[in-house]
């Protein structure tokens, strides 16, 4: 199992590692970061933006609409 995130702090990353996950800290909005991720048979994509998106509508669209399709 691999967990990929920007991981704003160490706590969550340590919890994933304690559960047996390989932790990869990457910004998945960066195309180079996406292509460098390890191959996986199954992917659970839990990414989204809603709260605090006022004034950042383009970012919200990108994260919720473009990124899931582009990440396949």
The residue extents of the domains of the chain are: 1-41, 43-72
Nearest Cα residue to 14 out of 26, 3, 1: 3
Query: 26-47, pLDDT tens digit by residue?
Result: 888 888 888 888 888 887 777 7
| C-alpha pair distances (Å), 50 with each of 7, 46, 47, 65 | 18, 13, 10, 12
What pTM, to 2 d.p., does this model score?
A: 0.64
Sign of the Cα pseudo-torsion (69, 53, 24, 19, in order)? negative
Residue 14 in this model has a pLDDT that exceeds 90: yes
């Amino acid at each position: 199992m691999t967990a990929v995130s920007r991981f704003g702090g160490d706590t969550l990353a340590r919890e994933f590692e304690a559960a047996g996950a390989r932790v990869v800290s990457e910004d998945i909005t960066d195309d180079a970061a996406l292509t460098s991720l390890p191959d996986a048979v199954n992917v659970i994509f839990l990414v989204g933006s809603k709260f605090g998106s006022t004034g950042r509508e383009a970012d919200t669209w990108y994260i919720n609409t473009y990124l899931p399709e582009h990440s396949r």
